[in-house]
Amino acid sequence: MPVQKQAEIAPAKGKLGVLLVGLGAVSTTFIAGVEAIKKGIAEPIGSLTQMGTVRLGKRTDNRVPLIKDFVPLAKLEDLVFGAWDIFPDSAFEAATHAGVLEKDLLAQIRTPLQKIKPMKAVFDQSYVKRLQGTNVKEGKNKLELAEQLIAEIADWKKKNKVSRVVMIWAASTEIFLKPHAVHKTLDTFEKAMRENHKAIAPSMIYAYAALKSGIPFANGAPNLTVDIPALRTLAEKNRLPICGKDFKTGQTLMKTIIAPGLKSRMLGLHGWYSTNILGNRDGEVLDDPDSFKTKEESKLSVLEYILQPDVYPALYKDFSHVVRINYYPPRGDNKEGWDNIDIFGWLGYQMQIKIDFLCRDSILAAPIVLDLALFLDLAQRTGMRGIQEWLSFYFKSPQTAPGLYPEHDIFIQLMKLKNTLRHLRGEDLITHLGLEYYD
């Protein structure tokens, strides 16, 4: 990833293909949103690339361009969407089924959504137990399935006349997999694909196909996927950016906003109990204990890293952290997340914070997909390769260099992201020291 200050950035010429694995609630809310914004009937709320600014120089300089004017990003008009799913429904049908967006809004963008028909998926029910679909590829072994994907991507690129492509995993959460010896090198990984080894999940086959095709990859679910040495090495070798994992929305977003605040004031924590009800397909998949385990691992690590119990034992040693997800169909995509936070202050006196977040999962996730697509493409044009830690801002479980602990504090993550953009453009980094104003 090391990249020079004021790096040369190739212009965002031509069309950018955004290939989505999974055409469910998140993907369709993202695509429908972009179409609605292009039509001028909605605003890109929640998207840093579209609405965010970056301060340059001193506070008195009044230089605060929009991020999209500061770095050369692909334009929304230049995005072309493609997807894979195990169900053959078009993006319009899938969006209608997901029930996130109102029918009136969908009716206005029906034509472009209907044109997006998912390609046949690489799928194996042993990795997502609650799903069964018909739109699925067949192949002799996992390597052959990857080769089918590679050929299909090349064909899609040509047909859609795109000059660059990024791939984002927005498909269901797979069962919990631990790193395995076959994940170590590209050779062992390819051999394992040929032998249909069970340590190779479908998400890894897509990631492999992307990296073999010269395409950056982002992982929006908590699956292991690209977070294994074989695929990290492939990304480095082919000079491609990768990032993951698990879009930071809902309850974890709130956690990484609130926990840094409590810690900044040296308030202690006895426990944080989080529970959710949701009724979309994601909720149904996560109702399976093996898929939930993958999600749980991703959600639990956040507080440990932010609060640093080893550094602050008097405040955070042995706090209890429980996360539950309950599948409750009447709620659909409109999740309700409750948090009970038991904190303590001066002289150990106890207090409680209760949060009841009536959130909409896919409404929070869609702008993340947009930003990741645009930033990954920017990274690619800048020659940034391997793990993109500056994109931690978007993830529950940010991918970092091996041995390096992830930064979860959302404010530090944002500073890191904006400082990366300043670095790329040769601007001074902002430290917030500010002594010069008082000279």
Q: Which residues of 148-160 are buried (b: 16+ CB within 10 A; e: fewer)?
A: bbbebbeebbeee
Candidate segments 5-13, 59-67, 126-134, 142-150, binder of ligand NAD by CB under 6 A: 126-134
* Strand partners for 169: 21, 219
Write out 4-16 in H/E/C secondary structure: CCCCCCCCCCCCE
Q: How near is the Cβ of 309 to ligand NAD at its closest, in Å?
A: 26
User: Which one of residues 171, 182, 209, 391 is an interface residue with ligand NAD (CB under 6 A)?
Assistant: 171
State how far the Cα of 176 lies from the Cα of 149, in Å rounded to an integer.
24
Neighbours of 351 (CB within 10 A): 11
Residues that contact ligand NAD, how many (by CB under 6 A):
37
Q: How near is the Cβ of 72 to ligand NAD at its closest, in Å?
A: 28
Task: For residue 341, give the DSSP letter.
Answer: E
Q: Quick check: 229 and 180 in contact, CB under 8 A? A: no
Nearer to ligand NAD, 133 or 406 (CB): 133
* Residues in contact with ligand NAD, shown as a per-residue x/- string from 21 to 60 under the rule CB under 6 A: xxxxxxx---------------------------------
Residue 318: C-alpha distances to residues 149, 368, 372, 430 (Å): 46, 33, 35, 36
State how far the Cα of 306 lies from the Cα of 406, in Å rounded to an integer.
9
Q: Compute φ and ψ for 389, nearest 5 degrees.
A: -65, -25
Q: Quick check: 22 and 369 in contact, CB under 8 A? A: no
User: Which one of residues 12, 18, 31, 85 is an interface residue with ligand NAD (CB under 6 A)?
Assistant: 85
Nearer to ligand NAD, 124 or 236 (CB): 124
Q: Is 121 in the site for ligand NAD (CB under 6 A)?
A: yes
The secondary structure of 381-406 as a DSSP string is: HHT--EE-GGGGGGBSS---STTPPP
Q: Is 96 in the site for ligand NAD (CB under 6 A)?
A: no
Candidate segments 34-42, 120-128, 184-192, 350-358, binder of ligand NAD by CB under 6 A: 120-128
Q: Quick check: 357 and 336 in contact, CB under 8 A? A: yes
Nearer to ligand NAD, 217 or 247 (CB): 247
Q: How near is the Cβ of 148 to ligand NAD at its closest, in Å?
A: 13
Q: How near is the Cβ of 138 to ligand NAD at its closest, in Å?
A: 14
Candidate segments 59-67, 105-113, 122-130, 187-195, binder of ligand NAD by CB under 6 A: 122-130
Q: Is 172 in the site for ligand NAD (CB under 6 A)?
A: yes
Nearer to ligand NAD, 84 or 327 (CB): 84
Q: How buried is 426 (Cβ within 10 angstroms: 0-12 exposed, 13-18 middle, 19+ buried)?
A: exposed
Furthest CA-CA distance within the chain: 72
- List helix spans (H) across 213-309: 229-237, 250-264, 281-286, 289-307
Q: Is 131 in the site for ligand NAD (CB under 6 A)?
A: yes
Nearer to ligand NAD, 17 or 202 (CB): 202
State how far the Cα of 115 lies from the Cα of 23, in Å rounded to an integer.
13
Q: Is 19 in the site for ligand NAD (CB under 6 A)?
A: no
State how far the Cα of 33 lies from the Cα of 44, in Å rounded to an integer.
8
Q: Which residue is nearest to ligand NAD (CB)?
A: 24
Q: Is 98 in the site for ligand NAD (CB under 6 A)?
A: yes
User: Which one of residues 362, 388, 399, 420 is an interface residue with ligand NAD (CB under 6 A)?
Assistant: 362
Per CB under 6 A, contacts with ligand NAD among 242-301 are 246-247, 249-250, 280-282, 285
User: Applying CB under 6 A, which residues contact ligand NAD?
Assistant: 21-27, 84-87, 98, 121-123, 128, 131, 133, 170-173, 202, 220-221, 246-247, 249-250, 280-282, 285, 361-362, 364-365
